[in-house]
């Protein structure tokens, strides 16, 4: 059995790092704007399609697509918050949740309309070259995704701690009125933050697609996992999201091993329900 | 069953009633067919309305109630050969129990607001994965009822009879909703929505009220699921527990007017009319009706916070400024 468990643990951690990356964007948006962005998964799906089309029609390698997709999705996120979610929600928590839900319905069903429900993937031969890690053979693409996702946490942390924009974001998150008084443009900062969150998703898409697939429904699965990650890690905590993402990848992989593939994700959702009930502040979060 | 506050609301309701009765005379199978679907969704919308409307407990996973009703009835009929009416009652009871259970669990630990939405969503997802994985639910291939028209099997060969049956059920659920609204229980529930701490300070057992609301909502939602099953004679995990069910449950009441008797029905009918119109214009493209629903939802949230009923309440000689009664 131990010969099966170790590979499951390692591949679970690899997937967990991508979950963490997706959740980083979500937790950043929650930590600053205090909104639960339901459209996060649909934006991931959209980014996956962007990477897919760049590769299929222009022959661009998914990893080289990062400098193209990242700024585009930053701009998309910025525009979405500034143009739609901010002005339409009139500030109520309930409305924001419903509006981001509506945005995700629109994106998903338009994708279904234009691109049909076919499962698509790209063919990059070298990502399936296996790397041996502690006796487990892992596709090269998964290893890149793992380290790529891990690298984002310190980068994002440095950005938040050391840059002027990062300070502004932190100021707005802590004390909105005060930040406004010292001359910070709150709506601009909110939109920047939403843009960064969306850019995280675009990066995740570039790292994910080589060893994954895309359908219009793929975002729904990810958004639930991302919510779980964010809540488990503590809403707004970057390190928490990383730890929680890895943990959930592990849970999914082990549940899949012991209960069968189709039940793998059930472990995640049960973990989600238990956390929401028992410790909604998460493992790294402050008490609400 | 209603306390009208304005001519606007009266006109709105009269239009809806005229439409529902008009379907008898148009004698078009297309209109009849799509109104039949809308009526089933209206029951689901009325289910969401109990918790989401009166109680302010917005659920994103009402499919868990709908699917449980449908699956309970289907398993009893297919596997154990139970009579459809008995299965209907069992489906309603089971969904009420699941609703009460989720409520008891969530409210015991003080889950509220967006967290409640996420908990319900996660439950729906757990149920969906289970239904797709276990054998007694038919797994991935779903469950199929035997075609056996007859009132004892709740299967109607004549569409007009089916339509009348569903219309009667919608009216019944609306009457129950009105009864809830004007009962002590409804008043407590609204008190919980408006200010839970104050309600508790006044001696209301808010935990009990909220769990009860979830159970009542479960009964209505389970009923909607069983009706779907009886109409199409088939369910699988994504039909019963899919996210689109949960979305349909909440979108009608919010657009029509949450926490009102007529709002959920008006909202659902209106949306289905728009969706059907779009389908006709755009040659049956899949998913486009949902795009329209979502656009209408965003506009409704921005421009008519109390839904159609609230908007209509501001029109006419006896209009109040912001009225939620209808």
Binning pLDDT at 50, 70 and 90, where does residue B23 land? confident
Contacts of A231 in chain B (CB under 8 A): 118
Q: Is A235 on the interface with B (CB under 8 A)?
A: no
Task: Give residue A286's pLDDT.
Answer: 54
Q: What are phi and psi of B242, to 5 degrees?
A: -65, 160
The Cα A142–Cα A121 span in angstroms is: 15
Q: Which residues pair with B235 in a beta bridge?
A: B143
Q: Between residues B225 and A122, which one has the greater pLDDT?
A: B225
Of the candidates B190, B191, B210, B199, the residue with the CA atom closest to the CA atom of residue B104: B210
Nearest-CA distance from A247 to chain B in Å? 18
In a domain, A283, yes or no: no
The Cα A21–Cα A152 span in angstroms is: 8
Task: Give residue B165's pLDDT.
Answer: 95
Task: Give residue B167's pLDDT.
Answer: 95
Per-residue pLDDT averaged across B131-143, rounded? 85
Q: Is A36 on the interface with B (CB under 8 A)?
A: yes
Task: Give residue A231's pLDDT.
Answer: 85
Tokens of B212: 């009860």
Q: Nearest by CB to B254, which of A98, A110, A273?
A: A98
In a domain, A148, yes or no: yes
Q: Between residues A93 and A242, which one has the greater pLDDT?
A: A242
| B120 within 8 A of B59, measured Cβ to Cβ | yes
Of the candidates B247, B243, B275, B270, the residue with the CA atom closest to the CA atom of residue B257: B270
Q: Is A4 on the interface with B (CB under 8 A)?
A: no
Of the candidates B177, B175, B197, the residue with the CA atom closest to the CA atom of residue B185: B177
Q: Which residues pair with B150 in a beta bridge?
A: B155
In a domain, A128, yes or no: no
Residue-averaged pLDDT of chain B: 89
The Cα B261–Cα B179 span in angstroms is: 10
Contacts of A93 in chain B (CB under 8 A): 113-114
Binning pLDDT at 50, 70 and 90, where does residue B148 land? confident
3-state secondary structure of A131: strand
A85-to-A70, A269, B252, B298 alpha-carbon distances in Å: 21, 27, 21, 9
b or e along B221-235 (b: 16 or more beta carbons within 10 Å of the residue's beta carbon)? bbbbbbbbbbbebeb
Per-residue pLDDT averaged across A77-92, rounded? 84
Nearest-CA distance from A193 to chain B in Å? 21
Q: Is A186 on the interface with B (CB under 8 A)?
A: no
| B142 within 8 A of B76, measured Cβ to Cβ | no
Q: Nearest by CB to B294, which of A94, A105, A272?
A: A105
Binning pLDDT at 50, 70 and 90, where does residue B151 land? confident
When scoring B59, B125, B244, B258 by the number of chain A Cβ atoms within 10 A, the one with the most, hence best to mutate, is: B125
Task: Give residue B3's pLDDT.
Answer: 55
The secondary structure of residue B287, as a DSSP letter, is: T
Task: Give residue A10's pLDDT.
Answer: 86
Per-residue pLDDT averaged across B253-261, rounded? 92
Residue B54 has pLDDT above 90, yes or no: yes
Q: Between residues A244 and B279, which one has the greater pLDDT?
A: A244
Task: Give residue A288's pLDDT.
Answer: 40
The Cα A230–Cα A268 span in angstroms is: 12
ipTM of the complex, rounded to two decimals: 0.84
Residue A46 has pLDDT above 90, yes or no: yes
A118-to-A81, A110, A214, B6 alpha-carbon distances in Å: 30, 14, 8, 51
Radius of gyration of chain A (CA): 19
Q: Which helix (H) or strand (E) holds A189?
A: helix A186-208
When scoring A101, A103, A268 by the number of chain B Cβ atoms within 10 A, the one with the most, hence best to mutate, is: A101
| B32 within 8 A of B163, measured Cβ to Cβ | yes
Residue A52 has pLDDT above 70, yes or no: yes
The Cα A178–Cα A196 span in angstroms is: 23
CA quadruple B165, B169, B171, B173: dihedral, nearest 10:
180
Residue B286 has pLDDT above 80, yes or no: no
Tell me the residue range of the domain where A257 lies. 2-118+134-278
Task: Give residue A78's pLDDT.
Answer: 94
User: Long-range contact list for B19-27, CB < 8 A, 24+ apart?
Assistant: B19/B269, B20/B167, B20/B269, B23/B163, B24/B160, B24/B163
Of the candidates A212, A189, A204, A151, the residue with the CA atom closest to the CA atom of residue A41: A204
Task: Give residue A285's pLDDT.
Answer: 59
Domain count within chain A:
1
Name residue, tokens 């019963």.
Answer: B240
Per-residue pLDDT averaged across A110-124, rounded? 86
pTM of structure: 0.89
The Cα B51–Cα A248 span in angstroms is: 31
Query: Which residues fall within 8 angstroms of residue A80, CB to CB, at 6 or more apart?
Result: A39, A103, A194, A198
In a domain, A98, yes or no: yes
Residue B150 has pLDDT above 60, yes or no: yes
> How many C-alpha atoms does A123 have within 13 Å on its Cβ side?
1
Per-residue pLDDT averaged across B140-166, rounded? 89
Task: Give residue A1's pLDDT.
Answer: 56
Give the percent of chain B with pLDDT over 70.
Answer: 94
Contacts of A273 in chain B (CB under 8 A): 105, 119, 122-123, 126
Residue A83 has pLDDT above 60, yes or no: yes
Q: Cβ of A260 and B58 within 8 Å?
A: no
Residue A91 has pLDDT above 80, yes or no: no
**pLDDT tens by residue, A9-18:** 888 888 899 8
Task: Give residue B254's pLDDT.
Answer: 92
| A234 within 8 A of A283, measured Cβ to Cβ | yes
Q: Cβ of A106 and B295 within 8 Å?
A: yes
What are the residue boundaries of the structural domains of chain B, listed by start? 37-245
Residue-averaged pLDDT of chain A: 85
CATH number for position A43:
1.10.3470
Name residue, tokens 């924009």.
Answer: A165
Task: Give residue B324's pLDDT.
Answer: 46
When scoring A34, A42, A91, A106 by the number of chain B Cβ atoms within 10 A, the one with the most, hence best to mutate, is: A106
Per-residue pLDDT averaged across B170-178, rounded? 96
Contacts of B287 in chain A (CB under 8 A): 108-110, 112-113
Binning pLDDT at 50, 70 and 90, where does residue A287 land? very low
Q: Between residues A78 and A11, which one has the greater pLDDT?
A: A78
The string of DSSP letters for B36-86 reads: HHHHHHHHHHHHHIIIIIIS----S-THHHHHHHHHHHHHHHHHH---HHH
């Amino acid at each position: 059995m131990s010969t099966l468990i170790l590979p499951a643990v390692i591949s679970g951690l690899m997937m967990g790092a991508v979950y963490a990356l997706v959740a980083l964007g979500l937790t950043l948006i929650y930590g600053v704007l205090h909104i639960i962005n339901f459209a996060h998964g649909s934006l991931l799906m959209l980014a996956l399609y962007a990477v897919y089309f760049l590769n299929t029609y222009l022959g661009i390698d998914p990893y080289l697509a990062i400098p193209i997709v990242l700024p585009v999705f930053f701009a998309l996120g910025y525009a979405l918050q500034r143009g739609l979610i901010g002005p339409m929600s009139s500030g109520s928590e309930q409305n924001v949740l419903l509006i981001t839900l509506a945005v995700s319905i629109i994106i998903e069903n338009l994708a279904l309309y234009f691109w049909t429900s076919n499962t698509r993937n790209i063919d990059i031969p070298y990502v399936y070259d296996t790397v041996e890690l502690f006796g487990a053979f892992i596709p090269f693409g998964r290893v890149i995704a793992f380290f790529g996702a891990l690298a984002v946490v310190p980068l994002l942390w440095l950005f938040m701690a050391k840059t002027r924009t990062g300070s502004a974001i932190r100021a707005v998150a802590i004390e909105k009125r005060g930040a406004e008084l010292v001359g910070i443009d709150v709506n601009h900062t909110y939109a920047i933050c939403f843009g960064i969150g969306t850019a995280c998703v675009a990066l995740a898409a570039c790292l994910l697609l080589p060893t994954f697939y895309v359908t219009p429904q793929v975002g729904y699965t990810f958004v639930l996992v991302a919510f779980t990650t964010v809540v488990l890690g503590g809403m707004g905590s970057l390190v928490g999201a990383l730890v929680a993402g890895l943990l959930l990848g592990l849970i999914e992989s082990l549940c899949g091993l012991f209960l069968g593939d189709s039940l793998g994700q059930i472990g995640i959702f049960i973990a989600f329900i238990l956390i929401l009930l028992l410790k909604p502040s998460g493992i790294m979060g402050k008490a609400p | 069953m209603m306390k009208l506050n304005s001519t606007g609301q009266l006109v709105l309701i009269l239009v809806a009633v005229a439409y529902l009765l008009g379907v008898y005379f148009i004698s078009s199978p297309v209109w009849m067919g799509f109104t039949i679907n809308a009526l089933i969704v209206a029951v689901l919308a009325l289910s969401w309305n109990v918790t989401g409307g009166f109680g302010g407990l917005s659920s994103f996973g009402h499919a868990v109630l709908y699917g449980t009703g449908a699956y309970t009835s289907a398993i009893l009929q297919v596997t154990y050969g139970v009579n459809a009416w008995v299965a209907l009652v069992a489906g309603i009871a089971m969904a009420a129990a699941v609703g009460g259970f989720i409520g008891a669990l969530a409210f015991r630990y003080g889950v509220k607001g967006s967290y409640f939405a996420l908990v319900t969503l996660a439950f729906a997802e757990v149920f969906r994965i289970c239904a797709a994985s276990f054998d007694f639910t038919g797994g991935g291939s779903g469950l199929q009822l035997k075609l056996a028209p007859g009132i004892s099997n709740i299967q109607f060969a004549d569409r007009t009879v089916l339509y009348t049956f569903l219309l009667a059920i919608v009216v019944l659920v609306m009457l129950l909703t009105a009864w809830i609204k004007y009962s002590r229980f409804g008043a407590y529930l609204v008190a919980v929505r408006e200010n839970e701490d104050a309600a508790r300070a006044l001696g209301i057992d808010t935990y009990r009220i909220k769990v009860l609301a979830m159970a009542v909502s479960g009964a209505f939602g389970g009923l909607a699921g069983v009706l779907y099953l009886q109409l199409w004679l088939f369910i699988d995990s994504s039909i019963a527990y899919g996210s689109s069910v949960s979305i349909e449950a909440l979108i009608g009441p919010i657009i029509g007017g949450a926490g009102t008797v007529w709002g959920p029905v008006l909202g659902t009918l209106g949306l289905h009319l728009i969706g059907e119109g779009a389908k006709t214009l755009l040659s049956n493209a899949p998913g486009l009706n949902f795009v329209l629903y979502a656009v209408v939802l965003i506009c409704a949230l921005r421009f008519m916070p109390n839904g159609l009923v609230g908007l209509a309440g501001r029109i006419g000689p006896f209009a109040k400024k912001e009225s939620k009664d209808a």
